[in-house]
Amino acid sequence: MITAQLPILAIAPAQVIRGDGILAAQDAASLDAIAAPIARLGQRPLIVGGSHSLALAAPLIGTLEQAGLAAQTAVYGRDCSESALARLHTAADGHRADVVIGMGGGKALDAAKLLAHQIHRPVVTVPTSGATCAAWTALSNVYSDQGAFLYDVALDTCPSLLILDYALIRTAPRRTLVAGIGDGLAKWYEAAISSGTSQQTLMVAAVQQARVLRDILLQKTPAALRHWGGPDWQEVVDATVLLAGVVGGIGGAQCRTVAAHAVHNGLTQLPASHGILHGEKVAYGILVQLRLEEMGGNAALARAARQQLLPFYRAVGLPQTLTDLGLGEITLSQLHQAAAFACREGSDIHHLPFTVAPEAVMAAMVSPLCPELRSKPAAPARSSSSVAPEVQP
């Protein structure tokens, strides 16, 4: 009998622990709340992160040592790359690690998750900023040593444990949370265009969660940035780190990323983009996607959505143009390189309900602020702006 391969959803971490200052707390109850769940996963944790993040790991290491766990740290480098993973394999083998703890931003967490996946060990994620939902997801992006996106890897499971310490997130630069807001907003614009007409129960749920995520970010972000560390700030962190991960978990790969992330991937091929945060490139990619939707036949709806987003972008400091990204001086050849990679075979951009060529992407990349189309659209098609945002900052 031939058994068909069934789709497997990795929806959420097995356990999420949230609190303010929980990693540095020294009372017995707090120490046990952190150490006990990790001890159930393994006795020899390898803590993977960047040099900055691992400098913040001292309280966690102390907690683990008090619980009798043999912890060791390993610096992953600058990118979740194949060479970085090879070094981490050596560190894990040398330590005889039976659980991996990722601590840091998106690339550190991706490296830790992929390492754990490859050595068949559980993974714990400890995000140090609100810049991405990498702490939640069963996905790792792999880059070259120079920072160019290569491919992503779907993992068997989400992390076994996610530890979200708001005190740790609060120390991260404002820019990181703003980038996470851009990345979170993309969940709606991408899910709606790729999956908005689906009648599948979980897909409908994922799209609606993406809409809720968008509304939370539009409503709460201004107050969150004005009152850093306050109640609205905490809700926005929960949105960017936790809720954003729910969308892809429930909806799967097609619901997760479309043109906004494809544009990000294309831009990473340019060395000049490597100082730009993931969510900043994705936020710009949302505007590019909406321009593509206008050119693909959704002129009125997509234009309205784009024009409604622009004041929000200006208010919070999200990039609207290549110049805002620091890429205003790239050459036509470099622009084509980025667009061609965004349109390569297998790219998420092909989740759009119309065919996209590199030339169209180039046109959209240089005109995200264009007030109107110069020619009449050919035919209507669905748009991620079919339910346009109504909330202004």
Number of domains present in the structure of the chain: 2
Give the CA count within 13 Å in the CB-facing half-sphere of 257: 23
Q: What are phi and psi of 252, to 5 degrees?
A: 85, -175
CATH number of the domain at 33, please: 3.40.50.1970
Give the CA count within 13 Å in the CB-facing half-sphere of 63: 24
The type of residue at 287 is L
CA distance 199 to 304: 26
Tell whether 250 is covered by a domain.
yes
Are 354 and 213 members of one domain?
Answer: yes
CA distance 237 to 169: 8
- Angle 330-333-339 from CA coordinates, rounded to 5°: 90
pLDDT in tens, the chain (393 residues): 444 455 788 999 999 999 999 999 988 888 889 999 999 999 999 999 999 999 999 999 999 999 999 999 999 999 999 999 999 999 999 999 999 999 999 999 999 999 999 999 999 999 999 999 999 999 999 999 999 999 999 999 999 999 999 999 999 999 999 999 999 999 999 999 999 999 999 999 999 999 999 999 999 999 999 999 999 999 999 999 999 999 999 998 778 799 999 999 999 999 999 999 999 999 999 999 999 999 987 778 899 999 999 999 999 999 999 999 999 999 999 999 999 999 999 999 999 999 999 999 999 999 988 864 443 433 334 455 543 444 333
Q: pLDDT value at position 26? A: 84
Are 149 and 277 members of one domain?
Answer: no
Tell whether 242 is covered by a domain.
yes
CA distance 46 to 108: 13
Would you call 158 exposed, middle or buried from its count of C-beta atoms within 10 A (0-12, 13-18, 19+)? buried
Q: pLDDT value at position 384? A: 57
DSSP strand pairing (139-143 vs 149-154): antiparallel
Q: pLDDT value at position 114? A: 98
* pTM (global) more than 0.85: yes
Tell whether 273 is covered by a domain.
yes
Domain boundary at 124, 147, 170, which? 170
Q: pLDDT value at position 299? A: 74
Are 38 and 155 members of one domain?
Answer: yes
Domain boundary at 148, 170, 192, which? 170
Domain boundary at 140, 155, 170, which? 170
Are 166 and 181 members of one domain?
Answer: no
Tell whether 11 is covered by a domain.
no
Are 233 and 320 members of one domain?
Answer: yes
Are 146 and 68 members of one domain?
Answer: yes
CATH number of the domain at 284, please: 1.20.1090.10
Are 57 and 157 members of one domain?
Answer: yes
Are 186 and 150 members of one domain?
Answer: no
Q: What are phi and psi of 230, to 5 degrees?
A: -80, -175
Are 164 and 218 members of one domain?
Answer: no
Are 43 and 186 members of one domain?
Answer: no
Tell whether 381 is covered by a domain.
no
Are 137 and 179 members of one domain?
Answer: no
The type of residue at 315 is A
Tell whether 99 is covered by a domain.
yes
**Tokens 């780190």 map to which residue?**
241
Tokens found for residue 35: 């150490």
Are 159 and 105 members of one domain?
Answer: yes
Helix, strand, coil proportions of the chain in percent (round to 5)? 50, 10, 35
Q: Which domain holds residue 34?
A: 16-170
Q: pLDDT value at position 300? A: 85
Q: Where are the alpha helices (DSSP H) in 16-105?
A: 28-41, 51-55, 58-66, 82-95
C-alpha distance from residue 114 to each of 85, 125, 174, 333 (Å): 8, 12, 28, 34
Tell whether 387 is covered by a domain.
no
